[in-house]
Amino acid sequence: MGPYRLEGRLGGGGMGQVFLGRSPGGRLVAVKLVRPELADDPGFRRRFALEAEAARRVGGFYTAQLVDADPDADPPWLVTAYIPGPSLHQAVEAHGPMPPEAISVLGAGLAEGLGAIHACGLVHRDLKPSNVILAADGPRVIDFGITRALDATSHTLSRAVIGTPSFMSPEQARGHEIGPASDVFSLGLVLAFAATARSPFGTGPAEAIVYRVAHDDPDLTGLPAHLADLVKRCLAKTPGNRPSVTDILGQLTDFTQATTQWLPPPIATMITERQVHTPPTPALTPPSDPGTHRSGTTPDALEHAPATDPSGDTEQHPDEPDQGPSDGIHTPSRRRLPRRLFLAGGLAALSAAAAPIGWDYWSHRNRLTGEDLYTVAFSPDGRTIAGGNISGDGWLWATDSHDVITDFSSANSDNSALAFTPDGSALVTAGMREPLSFRDPSTARVTISLASPLGSAQTMAFSADGSQLVVAGNIPIGNLEAPEICIVWDVKAQKLKHTMPFASRASSGVNSAAFIDNDSLILAGGNLTEGSTNGFWRWNLPSGELKPMGPDGWGSAVAVSPHGKQYALGGAHGCSLTSAQGTAPRVISNAHVDALAFSPDGATLAVADKDGIRLRDAATGRTKTTITDRRASTLAFHPDGRFLVSGGWFVDGKGGWLWPLNDT
């Protein structure tokens, strides 16, 4: 790309794809190519050029320098210094919370890096653990400066907010103008994550997290004493009450002066491994003309190369065997694992072929993607899997080969809910302030687009006969007043039949919905009516009556068995089963549930909770099989029960997997 030779794909994010490259002089660099739909926007190119020029001026010891960019290229690209080290996200995921001394060095380095960014008139806007690289001589802030160009484009399209829910500021959540103080809030969240391995505002749907960021106090339990007060001040709701990066640096300096080896040995080893396995510098060859690749390798040829984005967008899971691609790129052959280049956060190493037996093998071999997955579905004939996320990414995979048939993006960067029509004639998608899009099930091209009053789509489901479609959601990011939280469509007439308005400011909206019959639905959520604490409701469509039907507290998931005789309710209370006859819910698990799915014959219930995914006997509730200890936020059975597909966006369950069930 320009004078840079591309050597492997590192990953992808909201702006585009990232490749490992070499400069004409042989230095390793990270090359980011902008997504085509962004490149087609002249306004984006102008902002990209301005922000890239500003980012070039950012110096200092704790940032990854922007060394080159071409906003006029097709596609536009930028090049940053390459840092052979894990992201903070990867390090904490692999080894748990960092010690207090290391967090002090981390905080001081990040404060100094942010100070250099702010001095050039920039705001990072997306500081998070995956945008912090850990090097032997201190942390580095990456992906700064350019987010504003993407942010402005997204606002033009949809008034969406760019940022990561668990690490954004209250003013970001509300869609307000932001400044350096917003980065200080994010820094406080990053330090809390490093110290506790969790977000101070908890987990759950993105919209619920954003609501807590804007309104609730953070949970700072477990923070070291010398950091607790500092982090608390960083997390002040009012920007003017937060410390400056200079104040933060001054407070942490006393704890960092005597520190030489700043990282604990296990994380230091991660850095050493990346340095040892970095590809050697090749013999110098004359540079080619700009716009050509000296090696002849094109981005398209590298698009499916296994690797990991150093920004943390696609990451290796530490408990998976290091036997090949762990970034979520599927393995095309089921017979053996090919010998392929493996790049983990900058790590480049050849991995030998291996084929262990058991679930760990399938976890590795049948991983569909390493990107966040908020929703998954099988086509009625079982040949295709669809998946999407809140970043606007969408995919169709072939079930048998696991190959990507096509990928697609939504107009406004959100594909958080999708479903196939029962007759297989269309794939329907929706998201935050998205139209309801009917897509060709083979190509994912939009054939029908219907304007929707829904603030943010979190879930959708068809009635058994396909005549009705329910779409429901939560409070949309950047607009805490949603016009509607649940709507039902007449599919044939393409008209709204029923709507449920946003009733309570304390409401977390609807997280999951399923038809009982054509006249009633089960909804999971929180505080759907003023003053209520129920997590599950039965919505009678003809009368509009909402009737509580399950345990109190957060409701995450509901499922109705194929024969309609049994219901599963999952949430903060755990998992419970009830019947169409109205029997009292019977709790079969106490762990917080994230997703549920009945098998096609109704005999098995798949339950995803904080401990992983288990298949349970639908009659007794007893565990039949443990699929994995990874978390999942969405589940779907193959129409004939041969497979279970899971997707997630959690730290310990990010990506999508296809699990074979014939041996279970």
Per the rule left: phi > 0, alpha: psi between -120 and 50, beta: everything else, 630 is beta
In the set 126, 183, 327, 414, the catalytic residue is: 126
Burial (CB count within 10 angstroms: exposed 0-12, middle 13-18, buried 19+), residue 238: exposed
Pairing of strands 384-388, 375-378: antiparallel
Q: Which amino acid is at 366?
A: N
Per the rule left: phi > 0, alpha: psi between -120 and 50, beta: everything else, 229 is alpha
Element (H, E) at 180: helix 180-196
Active site residue 126: yes
Structure tokens at 449: 């687009």
Structure tokens at 239: 């920007």
Half-sphere exposure of 162 (CA within 13 A, CB side): 24
Cα angle 8-10-15, degrees, rounded to a multiple of 5: 125
DSSP characters over 266-298 = HHHHHHHHHHHTSPPPPPP-----TTS-TT---
Structure tokens at 91: 């390090």
Element (H, E) at 486: strand 484-490
Burial (CB count within 10 angstroms: exposed 0-12, middle 13-18, buried 19+), residue 43: exposed
What gap in Å lies between CA 625 and CA 149, rounded to an integer? 48
What gap in Å lies between CA 420 and CA 426, rounded to an integer? 6
Give the number of other Cβ atoms within 10 Å of residue 61's Cβ: 13
Q: How far apart are the first and last CA of the chain?
A: 48
DSSP characters over 390-418 = TTSEEEEEETTT--EEEEEE-TTS---EE
Burial (CB count within 10 angstroms: exposed 0-12, middle 13-18, buried 19+), residue 660: middle
Element (H, E) at 299: helix 299-302
Burial (CB count within 10 angstroms: exposed 0-12, middle 13-18, buried 19+), residue 273: middle
Instruction: Please tell me whether residue 40 adopts helix, strand or coil conformation.
Output: coil
Structure tokens at 625: 């099989």
Instruction: Please tell me whether residue 211 adopts helix, strand or coil conformation.
Output: helix
32 is in an annotated binding site: yes
Burial 72-105 (b: 16+ CB within 10 A, else e): ebebbbbbbbbbbbbbbbbbbbbbebbeebbbbb
Half-sphere exposure of 624 (CA within 13 A, CB side): 15
Q: Which residues contact 349 (CB under 8 A, 6 or more apart)?
A: 277, 341, 342
**Preceding omega of 75 cis (within 30 degrees of 0):** yes
Binding residues for ATP: 32
Residues forming the active site: 126
Binding positions: 32
